[in-house]
Structure 1
């Protein structure tokens, strides 16, 4: 499970005459297989090890998914947070802050070859000696850009589609199941927006969450042996007013809806079906919806609504 970034976005000097861009060491030794603990800091430590050993990677795999060769065992890299912070900082010698953040987004995308993709992008940047973020002739640059765009879209949707339920002890709980690991990207948004209440956002697919205690937002993990079938908090621990709030939320969405402009195809494009199971407004209604009867029907031959009032004003 990835943790948060090891360093701030603004640190690290920009290459200059006094602080020149150093060339990447040549990788002249035989390629090796590397394994790490699956964290982003662990991957950054692997990148340091690659250049320290001067041996390009055949593969970079988490410890639990290692598939070794017949004649060689993968090099197990122990995560060193100091080295990881050093690599993260020094990346700014070769790429700008936005490009560096895209590499983190690629890691969170959980693509099957994300580790090698990050290495190839960073290695290309170090050997090119110039900005490669718009070098779309290179397949690695295109894939990094595409995955970063997909991550941004998923992050934006999670910030819009999270629905909290209040428990009896005052904790606001939400369950999500995004396509990508976006919790590290949405932490700042919810910490700022809901700074006056305790909340927990739980990623059901990855079995960890974010917990805010009115002071700090922390990563919390759950027992892997617990059942996975439940998509929501048990009704026995919810606040007694929570069903009323859900009913009010559903009534609001029902009444702002315009049936004459119904477009399910557009609706599903902006709100894909996979999110509906966690949205209060998409749950079965306990009460039948009835439209607000506050509109006068238009009689045949009579002016449209609003035209009669304007005609009276003009006469006056």
Structure 2
């Protein structure tokens, strides 16, 4: 089997275009990599794919005939999952769907089907944890700002939650790991890219004066409702893993109200 490396621009649309190109060429990929990460190969063929609206639309329409809405979401969530090999996993799932006469969604004997479902479950858990644990801080110009660094790229999945919950406030959520964020201006949400994430001390410098007092009051409240006799550290860690503590006011170093 000859080596065939497909490269694309890193977008979900680009990945769907790769699927079209592979079927059109009848040259199945042995690897799929983002252009800026791909390494030259000494043997075999490298196919550089340019995202094409017509081609990706044909693939998506074909998938809509083969898969349920839930399965289509699971595929997109697997793309956002970003773990090594996710492109080939998505390709294998799509190829199996196109090549099968019956639905593949419950065919867990196929490793790609099982892995996509597992990835989607991990994304679901991370999404809901981010929705629960994100803490906004208000800046002097009335902007509510929060930083996150989730294990997976869940920002696109949590935007709708915060858009509905904080519809009357300007807010921004910035993913420091992926160096992009979402900004809500009271009407629309737009994605923002920064070359360098704002440093915490720079952000803190523009927080409204009362923000620190709110944080302290939250810490006092947490102490008040926390019953020592009922402490269960293992259960607490299961529901609130340590990697989320940086988002929680009650977990920050204690300061004192004036």
Query: TM class, shorter-chain normalised?
Result: over 0.9
Matched, 1:264 2:233: yes
User: How many Å apart are 1:249 and its aligned residue?
Assistant: 1.5
Shift of 1:92: 1.1
Matched, 1:197 2:173: no
Asked which structure has the greater CA Rg, the reply is 1
The answer for the alignment partner of 2:183 in structure 1 is 211
1:137 Cα offset (Å): 1.1
Paired position in structure 1 for 2:137:
165
User: C-alpha deviations, 1:81-132, integer Å up to 9, x for none?
Assistant: 3432332232111111101110111111111111110011111111111111
| Residue of structure 2 in register with 1:274 after alignment | 243
* Secondary structure, aligned partner of 2:209: coil
8 Å CA contact 2:222, 2:250 repeated in 1: yes
Structure 2 CA distance for partners of 1:232 and 1:219, relative to 1, 3 Å: farther
Deviation at 1:74, TM superposition (A): 1.3
Does structure 1 residue 181 correspond to structure 2 residue 161?
no
What are the superposed Cα offsets for residues 159-217 of structure 1, whole Å, 9 maximum, x if unpaired?
00000000011110001110000011111111111111110001111110011111111
CA RMSD between the two structures = 1.8
Give the corresponding residue for 1:235: 204
TM norm structure 2: 0.94
Structure 2: gaps of 5 or more residues = none
TM-score by length of 1: 0.77
The ranges of structure 1 where at least 4 consecutive aligned residues each deviate by more than 6 angstroms after the TM superposition are none
Residue 54 (1) aligns with residue 23 (2): no
- Paired positions, count: 257
Distance 1:188 1:82 in 2: 28
Distance 1:107 1:232, change over 3 A: farther
Q: Which residue of 1 aligns with 2:95?
A: 123
Q: Provide the residue aligned with 2:224 in structure 1.
A: 255
Asked if the contact 1:209/1:220 (under 8 Å) is kept, the reply is yes
Classify 1:136/1:187 alpha carbon distance in 2 versus 1 (closer, same or farther; 3 Å). Answer: same
Q: Encode CA deviations 1:128-165: one digit per residue, 9 max, x unaligned.
A: 11111111111111111111100000001000000000
Instruction: Look up the match of 2:104.
Output: 132
Deviations 1:36-66 (A, max 9, x none): 0111111111111111112111111000111
